[in-house]
Amino acid sequence: MALDYEKLMAKSVIDLPFSYTSRDTMLYALSVGMGGDPLAAEELAYATELSGAPKTLPAMATVLVPDMFPPDLGWDYSQVLHAEQRLELFRPLPPAADLLVDKRVSAVYDRGPKHGALVLFEAEGRLKKDGTALFSIGNTIVARGDGGFGGPSGKGPQPHRVPRREPDLTADLPTRVDQALLYRLNGDWNPLHASPDAAAVVGFERPILHGLCTYGVACHAIVKTILGYDYTLITAFDARFSAPVLPGDTITTDMWQEGNVISFQCRAKERDVVVLRNGRCMLAT
């Protein structure tokens, strides 16, 4: 069934309630590798409540929008790939909150039968109690099996360019062999990340790590390596997904800092495969 452009562009949800607790905040931190060193007090401040309310990684905003990519949009859901993630933070995330979330399809581009369709989503989260804006999210999805539906052409947002020189800093963060099973407890139940059978159907020898988990590991690396674990400095965090991570891979994050812009990319170290490209982390000035 071909995509219905008008139906997609009309797809929106307003004032969707969503709540999370300190337990969810600690789970997210653990799922992107915080607490890997049991003696690092800076990481325990994210992964436990021992020093008070847990600190919040900015990338956690990506799991605070329920059902961001609903399967009922008329696309072939088995051929859908998450291509890009964008995040803007208006203030640091609280460790627990009741939210209201708005989400919508912001653009759909037809790249032809051979190249599929691009579907862009946007979401905004704000505090339920007073309407304070917390974050804005943008996602680019490639629907590989749904090009040629007769919609407008387009390329989506221009990617950030990473400097063409040796990185200023590099961080290696290992992933666990069961990391995808841990990360999916944040609410992404796609069987591709848990079922060997589902992974085999789309050509993988075993379940792969969520792209947004890799994104969270990159955020962890920058907070650890450049920001001295001060999560309040990040105001935006964007990246493109380029290859899957296998649970157990070491994720190497290369970083370049120019003023309040940190450019980054990630590699699966053992396989020497770039898994995240065009990364841009904006810092408060």
- Enter the pTM of the model: 0.95
Catalytic residue numbers?
188, 193
How many CB atoms are closer than 10 A to CB 273? 15
Q: Residue 11: which pLDDT band, with cuts at 50, 70 and 90?
A: confident
Distance CA 243, CA 214 (A): 10
From the list 55, 10, 16, 13, the residue with the least C-alpha distance to 32 is 55
Count H helices, E strands: the chain?
6, 10
- CATH number attached to the domain at 5-150+158-283: 3.10.129.10
The span from the CA of 88 to the CA of 237, in Å, is: 7
pLDDT of residue 81: 86
Helix axes 211-225 and 22-31, enclosed angle (nearest 10) = 90
pLDDT digits (tens, 9 = 90+) for 67-96: 877 767 777 777 778 999 999 999 999 999
Residue 1 has pLDDT above 60, yes or no: no
The closest alpha carbon to 91, from 53, 125, 120, belongs to: 125
pLDDT tens sequence across 157-210:
999 999 999 999 999 999 999 999 999 999 999 899 999 999 998 889 999 999
